[in-house]
Amino acid sequence: MTINLELPRKFNPTIEQAHQAAAEIFRPVSRKYDLAEHEYPVELDTLASLYDGLADAGQAGAGADGGRKQRKPEVAEGVIVNGGNMQSVVNTLEASWGDVGLLLSIPYQGLGNAAIAAVATDEQLAQFGKVWAAMAITEPGFGSDSAAVTATARRDGDEYVINGEKIFVTAGSRASHIVVWASVDRSLGRAAIKSFVVPREHPGVTIVRLEEKLGIKASDTAVIRFEDVRIPAANLLGSPEVDTKKGFGGVMQTFDNTRPLVAAMAVGVARAALEDLRGILSDAGVEIDYDKPANCQSAAAAEFIRMEADWEEAYLLSMRAAWMADNKLPNSKEASMSKAKAGRTATDITLKAVELAGTLGFSERLLLEKWARDSKILDIFEGTQQIQNLIIARRVLGKSSAELK
């Protein structure tokens, strides 16, 4: 498989817009909303209008449908496509260079939107493509083991009745809709887990509380209770059929779309930290020479070169996972590889940047300490480091989840 990861020129306009938004909208208010947790960033409404306009204009990578626009035209076998998934990744990277918490707060760009893009039918995409959707998976009784969902969705005529509680729902109190994972028949195991689009302001939906967090404070993180919530049967994303042989690959396909995006968030935060650290080291007289072996340079320079190499690996893995999605290649392993590498790399780089920057890194004069706090969630949500390594091992060894736990 040959991959050319040189970015197509057609991406340049939206990449530049994303970078400008990060530099001129996100960075100036980054500390403000870090100190004012749960306060809605009104500055993002303008940005939401920009994304909406790009989506209406048919620009790939903008809007809830992600790369869907790129799938419709038939292309000849062997033709390489660089489409919406790759562009979404590079746009996410640029925006996260500004502030990942604010990125997660942009209206109509929630993780639930990526879930809709992954499994919705064309009819459902037409219905839900313009909503702002959060994604509700985690419950009080489990974290990364998505198969342990206990929330239920009971069929009652032309409706489903949803009951359960979800925690750590990003944008849960702000989004207009919530993509909820629930089981239609718990006796059938993970194969019966489906995703449902539920309006947030709906009878039986209660925002129990908002979490106070280590990082990404600009983003609201909610606990939501669903009590006898009735929604139309058509709000079940994808096929309602339960195939016990196939498992719950339909809803898990969501992660093949969202994990490269979370990897891109980590890559963006790590790049921001590397850039600031390089300036600090340069001002301190530390020379970084790429023509000399690391052991012939100062400890700080050697560490910086190591971190840059790790960053490059994370970036390339993220791009590969997105490229495979655009070209309709199974990318579950690669999506997990990108998420695992990028999440680990971001925490390593941001914490090391705080250390090497000394008192500047530990103070609030710069954003380095904030990026160190923000980066930790990127190694946790959408599947922890440990669960990603487990998925990768299963794919490499050809083992099922029952065979390798």
Give the position of tokens 């009819």: 123
The secondary structure of 37-71, three-state, reads: CCCCCCCHHHHHHHHHHHHHCCCCCCCCCCCHHHH
Q: Are the C-beta atoms of residues 128 and 179 closer than 8 Å to each other? A: no
How far is residue 68's CA from residue 42's CA, in Å, rounded to a whole number?
29
The residue annotated as part of the active site, out of 94, 303, 334, 382, is 382
**Shortest CA distance to 379 belongs to which of 269, 263, 219, 211?**
263
3-state secondary structure of 102: helix
Q: Which helix (H) or strand (E) holds 170?
A: strand 159-170
Contacts of 332 (CB under 8 A, 6+ apart): 252, 255, 256, 391, 395
* DSSP conformation class of 248: S
Contacts of 157 (CB under 8 A, 6+ apart): none
C-alpha distances in Å from residue 48, one per residue of 29, 200, 257: 16, 19, 21
How far is residue 217's CA from residue 215's CA, in Å, rounded to a whole number?
5
User: Can you list the alpha helix ranges (DSSP code H) found in 158-248?
Assistant: none
Active site residue 382: yes
* DSSP conformation class of 142: B
3-state secondary structure of 226: strand
Give the position of tokens 């190694």: 379
Active site residues: 382
